[in-house]
Amino acid sequence: MKNSKVSLLSSIFRTKCPRCREGNMFTSSNLYSPKFADMHANCPCCGQVFEPEPGFYYGAMYVSFALSTGIFLGVLLVLSFLVEEITLPMVLIAVVIIVLGMLPIMFRVSRAIWINIFIHYEGPCMDIPKK
């Protein structure tokens, strides 16, 4: 028998449905495929709608900005330990490379964080009514 209670952080980083924490939010599990941004309309398990209203995920841009700011500060901290003199081009190149490489991850995680703010866990899929 599977663990009936999946943690919030685990469901966010695995981009699972916020209501049942079992169904996948995205159609492809490959982060670097051309379809990395394609989402299911509803949870395959409990039927939860993943876009409750048009433009719902605009707020996820702010979450993504916060994640990018954290990456910037992390890069700045690491560079301060590795090099004697930090230059602006050095920081910008490092941040751009890292953020572009992590873009699909940040896209998915920021959407998962955003939807988890508004839709709360109700229990395992088999214990809650389908929507």
| 3-30 tens-digit pLDDT | 557 899 999 999 999 999 999 999 999 9
Do the beta carbons of residue 99 and residue 68 sit within 8 Å? Answer: yes
Q: Is the pLDDT of residue 1 over 60?
A: no
Dihedral (Cα; 64, 27, 18, 106), 10-degree rounding: -20
The total number of residues written for the chain in this structure: 131
- pTM for this entry: 0.87
Measured CA to CA, the distance from residue 95 to residue 74 in angstroms comes to 9
Q: How confident is the model at residue 93 (pLDDT cuts 50, 70, 90)?
A: very high
Closest to 110 in 3D by CA, of 52, 77, 70: 70
